[in-house]
């Protein structure tokens, strides 16, 4: 009797090299509801309350309707340990601010990575109609449409000298975003410019 030895090597590459070397806590978006178990708001709340991370939110929506319409306020990610967060969408995944709410406010200073999600109709009288990010920001394969704000119609990434903040945006569409002051699509503000 002879035996053959073989090995199997599985390699998982995290987008942007973001979560390499660490096991991420994973939370799932399973429905398009604005509240309750399995919704995007619930996944963000769970990631906010979790330990040091990093954390990952995966969209696993079924059916043709993959649009989440916010009806009870904007979404917030606020992890006390400033844990990194990676949001991975899917084809057709859309988050709609109903022309009433900023879609996402990332208060945590950790890295935020977003891929494969469409964000539309975000609105705020502040900066960043779709997103305000406190830490480094990496966006790939997303679209931002019809978002509006005082400044930075879609994405606002404020920076200062106390933190090294990196913003990378790849293969992303910005269309029909408006701002009353600067940055119809994107703006970043250095509080202490060099």
DSSP 111-141: -EEEES-EEE--B-SSB-SSEEESS-EEEES
The larger pLDDT score, comparing residue 138 to residue 15, is at 138
> What tokens appear for 14 in the block?
């995290």
The per-residue pLDDT for range 37-67, each reduced to its tens digit, is 999 999 999 999 998 889 999 999 999 999 9
Task: Name the residue among 59, 109, 67 with its Cα closest to residue 85.
Answer: 109
CB 72 within 8 A of CB 35: yes
Give the Cα separation of 155 and 129 in Å (integer): 7
pTM for this model (two decimals) = 0.84
Please give the average per-residue pLDDT across 155-177, as a whole number: 81
> What tokens appear for 15 in the block?
């987008």
The larger pLDDT score, comparing residue 68 to residue 189, is at 68
Give the Cα separation of 146 and 169 in Å (integer): 18
Tell me the C-alpha to C-alpha distance, in Å, between residue 39 and each of 2, 10, 34, 182: 53, 30, 6, 33
- Under DSSP, the state recorded for 81 is T
Give the Cα separation of 57 and 75 in Å (integer): 13
The per-residue pLDDT for range 87-117, each reduced to its tens digit, is 999 999 999 999 999 999 988 888 999 999 9
Give the Cα separation of 107 and 83 in Å (integer): 11
Quote the percentage of the chain above a pLDDT of 70: 82
CB 189 within 8 A of CB 165: no
Integer distance in angstroms from the first to the last C-alpha of the chain? Answer: 73
CB 8 within 8 A of CB 40: no
- Under DSSP, the state recorded for 44 is H
Chain centroid to CA 66: how far?
Answer: 16
* Pick from 18-32, 59-73, 102-116, 124-138: least confident: 18-32
Residue appearing with tokens 């989440």:
68
């Amino acid at each position: 009797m002879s035996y053959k030895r073989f090995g199997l090597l599985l390699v998982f590459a995290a987008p942007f090299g973001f979560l390499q070397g660490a096991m991420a806590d994973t939370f799932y978006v399973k429905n398009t509801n604005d509240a309750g178990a399995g919704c995007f708001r619930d996944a963000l709340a769970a990631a906010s309350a979790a330990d040091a991370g990093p954390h990952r939110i995966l969209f696993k929506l079924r059916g043709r309707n993959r649009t989440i319409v916010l009806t009870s306020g904007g979404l917030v990610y606020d992890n006390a340990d400033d844990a990194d967060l990676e949001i991975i969408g899917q084809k057709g995944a859309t988050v709609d601010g109903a022309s009433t709410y900023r879609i996402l406010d990332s208060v945590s200073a950790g890295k935020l990575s977003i891929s494969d999600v469409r964000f539309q109709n975000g609105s705020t009288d502040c900066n960043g109609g779709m997103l305000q990010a406190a830490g480094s920001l990496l966006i790939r394969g997303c679209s931002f449409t019809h978002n509006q704000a005082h400044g930075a119609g879609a994405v606002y990434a404020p920076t200062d000298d106390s933190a090294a903040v990196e913003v990378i945006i790849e293969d992303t569409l910005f269309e029909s975003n408006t701002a009353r002051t600067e940055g119809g699509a994107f703006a970043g503000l250095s509080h202490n410019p060099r």
